[in-house]
Amino acid sequence: MAKDGELDFFTTRFEDVINFARKNSLFPLPFGTSCCGIELMSTLASGYDMARFGAEVVRFSPRQSDLLIVAGIVNLKMAPVLRNIYDQMADPKWVISMGACASSGGIFNVYSVTQGIDTVIPVDVYVPGCPPAPEGLLNALLRLEDRISKGDTHSLRRERALKHAHSGDAK
């Protein structure tokens, strides 16, 4: 109700309200395996304060989180573990690949390191840098929030891809 007593309301879609809520209450799961994890901690701490963007409740259980931040090297031995954690997270879920090692293997092009986590799980936003500055991660978070507000989730994307594949079959 407005100050002059008039009824004040606006109409919107239910989906938009849901997306607004999702984008402003992300629960990150930190998968910090090396030095990027330190930058991630710095981003979460009071200096840069990721809480300003609604992503301060760090959860260490995949069941309780919806944003996986992979910060650091993922070895071949660790790759199935990462896949397990991703599968355990409930949909809707998003993934940020933080740093050169997580995005591409970085300088470690050897027998023991995965060449980018996108060989194992789908990734929404990549953050370049070795390690990236906290501003980089915050920028990635804002970009991800933009995409969430448009209703972009992994399951929706999967559905779209399936639809596309079926329409391709019909031709």
Partner 1 sequence: MDIRKPVATIYGYFQDKFSPTWNEQILKLRESYGEAIELVVMPMESNIDMPTLTVKKEKIHEFLSDLKNNYQYSFLTDFTATDEKDDEEFEKTNHRFQLVFHLFNTETKARIRVKVKLSENESIATFIDLWIGANWAEREIFDMFGIQFEGHPDLRRILMDMRWEGHPLRKDYPLRGYQIFLTPEPLDPELLK
Footprint of partner 1 (CB under 8 A): 76-77, 79-81, 84, 109-112
Task: Give backbone dihedrals phi and psi of 96, rounded to 5 degrees, phi first.
Answer: -110, 125
In the bound state with partner 1, the residue whose beta carbon lies nearer, of 51 and 81, is 81
Residue type present at position 27: F
In the bound state with partner 1, the residue whose beta carbon lies nearer, of 102 and 144, is 102
CB of 48 to partner 1, least distance (A): 34
In the bound state with partner 1, the residue whose beta carbon lies nearer, of 76 and 90, is 76
- CB distance 36 to 30 below 8 Å: no
Residue whose structure tokens are 């969430």: 148
CA distance 81 to 87: 10
CB of 82 to partner 1, least distance (A): 10
CA distance 168 to 171: 5
CB of 87 to partner 1, least distance (A): 12
CB of 98 to partner 1, least distance (A): 23
In the bound state with partner 1, the residue whose beta carbon lies nearer, of 31 and 94, is 31
Residue type present at position 52: R
Ramachandran class of 64: left when φ > 0, alpha when ψ lies in -120 to 50, beta otherwise: alpha
